[in-house]
Amino acid sequence: MSPLFDLSGRTALVTGANTGIGQAIAIALAGAGAEVVCSGRRDCDDTLAAVKAAGGKASFLRLDFADPMAARDVFEDRRIDLLINNAGIIRRQDSTDFTEADWDAVIDTNLKALFFTCQAFAKALFSRGEAGKIVNIASLLSFQGGIRVPSYTASKHGVAGLTKLLANEWAARGIHVNAIAPGYIETNNTQALRDDPERSQSILARIPAGRWGRPEDIGGAAVFLCSPAANYIHGTVLNVDGGWLAR
């Protein structure tokens, strides 16, 4: 492996690693040599098995980001130097009918928890005088409005903004903060869209690559942003969308 992409000796926490994009990121980071702590509100048995079958090292840490402060004590006694904030939820409803409970649930998980997890990570690294990297998972809806997902759109706009703000504050102190904005990826979150023939076709018609994205497409981007190859990249939101935003 090229040393530019070698993550040997690094330890990564991947939130929401039980399935989909989080699972693919965990497997990709382990394949690049990192030891991976897979976290989620549900067990990550399939992810752990895939990592170990490939010869990687992984462990499980149960975290439920319905509590935005769930990770406040995670980094004090663990030498984690890569953080991938992937955990997130979505609620769909017309904006005229959207409830306060659904608004709060999404904002708490997708935005508030992300910020305070980043804060806890940075405090631990600063106290030890160490460097690290953060990769936040944003969205196409960090740039677009979407339909019937008001709290999700607000949260993902916020993720993009926080990524830039934290990069401004922490770049000179040794922490890289960047984000990935996935396009339409084959995950549980997009199942309803893919099951609707008309909606699915309209989406595919706009994607220059001509296909839905796969979770492993995001895994490679995460390895890049965590690697020495990205050592002069700060505050970037990297679109991995098959060309969607270029149309």
| 236 closest CA partner among 117, 105, 135 | 135
* Residues, the chain: 247
C-alpha 162/C-alpha 185 separation (Å) is: 23
Q: What is the pLDDT of residues 74-98, one digit of tens each?
A: 999 999 999 999 999 999 999 999 9
Alpha helices, DSSP H, located in the chain? 20-31, 45-53, 100-107, 113-128, 150-170, 191-194, 197-206, 215-226
Q: What is the mean pLDDT of residues 33-40?
A: 98
* Sequence spans of domains, the chain: 3-241
What mean pLDDT, rounded, does the chain reach? Answer: 96
Q: Active site includes 152?
A: yes
Residue 69: the pLDDT is 98
Q: Which H/E stretch holds residue 180?
A: strand 175-182
Question: Span 142-163, mean pLDDT?
Answer: 97
Cα Rg of the chain, angstroms: 17
Over 80: is that where the pLDDT of 131 sits? yes
Average pLDDT over residues 181-189: 92
pLDDT at residue 177 tops 90 = yes
The per-residue pLDDT for 1 is: 67
14 strand-pairing partners: 38, 84
Q: How far apart are CA 121 and CA 90, in angstroms?
A: 25
Q: Any idea which of 62-76, 146-160, 183-197 has the lowest mean pLDDT?
A: 183-197
Q: Quick one: average pLDDT of 58-74?
A: 97
What's the CATH number of domain 3-241, 3.20.20.100, 3.40.30.10, 3.40.50.300, 3.40.50.720? 3.40.50.720
pLDDT at 120: 98
pLDDT of residue 191: 86
The predicted pLDDT at position 192 comes to 83
Asked if residue 227 has pLDDT above 80, the reply is yes
Share of the chain above pLDDT 70, in %: 100
- Range of lowest pLDDT (144-148, 190-194, 238-242): 190-194
| Overall average pLDDT of the 24-49 stretch | 97
What's the predicted TM-score (pTM) here?
0.96
Q: Is the dihedral of CA 32, 14, 243, 168 positive or negative?
A: negative
Q: What is the pLDDT of residues 198-215, one digit of tens each?
A: 999 999 999 999 999 999
Model pLDDT, residue 106: 98
Element holding 219 (H helix, E strand): helix 215-226
* Tokens encoding 81: 């130097």
Task: Catalytic residue, from 75, 152, 212, 244: name it.
Answer: 152
